Amino acid sequence: MPGTSSFTPEDLVRDLEAEHQTYSDQYYPLHKKKEDLIKRCVALVEADGSSIKETRKKRARTILVDLWTHVPEVFFLCASKLTPTKLGNLTATGYMEVVSKWWDSVSHPQGLTNALDRHSNILPRISRDRREIRLRLKAEDLLSMFSAEFGNQDLEISLPFSGTPLPFVRIASSDEKYVKIELSCVLANTILWQHQSRGGSL
């Protein structure tokens, strides 16, 4: 196709490696430009594939779905680095083998894992595992359910001094019914401060 530049699996890996190098074991907030690019890729993943007529756009969706399904961290790197238009120029069929071998050979920084966790609200709702279901609820609805089930139960908040693992809340009404929720260090410290300011003990 005139005006279309070639894009190989090796080119994809070079772009992924460049993005991979920006991560360490420390988490840093995602730049808005990258977040917007991820949202654009996610919208394509969640679109009805049968309704996409443009070849490169359909190809980009196929690649993104493959990455999200099999290597979500690589999907995150790809979606925050490449536009669907550029990705759609990848016509080779062996990209997953090349990408998987690269991913197996590099470090998996904790900062990248944390980035996926902290931006899970903008990531695809389609399941990576067909046995998994993702629900989108309003916080007030979920808290109302928790209140009905655990309203009279004591809860415990664990706050590791190092911040690793993340602080968490655990509430249980029985061995079969319990909740464990991770908290950011900032939120956990806010809860601790409010608890102590009200005369609560540790």
pLDDT tens digit string along 69-114? Answer: 999 999 999 999 999 999 999 988 899 999 999 999 999 999 999 9
| Cα distances (Å, whole numbers) of residue 46 to 16, 50, 61, 62 | 22, 12, 9, 11
Give the separation between CA 31 and CA 93, rounded to whole angstroms.
32
Q: Looking at the chain, which runs of residues are DSSP E strands? A: 155-158, 168-172, 178-182
CA 2 – CA 54 distance, rounded (Å): 15
Find out whether 67 and 75 touch, Cβ atoms under 8 Å: yes
Does 153 or 194 have the greater pLDDT score? 194
Q: How far is CA 114 from CA 27, 94, 97, 166, in A?
A: 6, 29, 25, 10
Q: Calculate the dihedral angle through the C-alpha atoms of 18, 19, 20, 23, rounding to the nearest 10 degrees.
A: 120
pLDDT band at 138 (very low <50, low <70, confident <90, very high): confident
Do 183 and 167 form a contact (C-beta atoms < 8 A)? yes
| pLDDT at res. 134 | 57
| pLDDT tens digits along 23-76 | 999 988 899 999 999 999 999 999 888 889 899 999 999 999 999 999 999 999
- pLDDT band for position 130 (cuts 50, 70, 90): very low
Closest CA to 19 of 73, 96, 69, 72: 73
d(CA 62, CA 151): 46
- Distance (Å, whole) CA 155 – CA 180: 10
What pLDDT score was predicted for residue 1? Answer: 41
Q: Which residue has the higher pLDDT, 163 or 158?
A: 158
Query: pLDDT band at residue 173, thresholds of 50, 70 and 90?
Result: confident
DSSP letter assigned to residue 165:
S
Share of the chain above pLDDT 90, in %: 48
Number of helices (H), then strands (E), belonging to the chain: the values are 9, 3
- Domain map (residue ranges) of the chain: 9-122, 139-197
Q: What is the mean pLDDT of the chain?
A: 86
The reported pLDDT for the residue numbered 168 is 85
Q: Per-residue pLDDT for 175 more than 80?
A: no
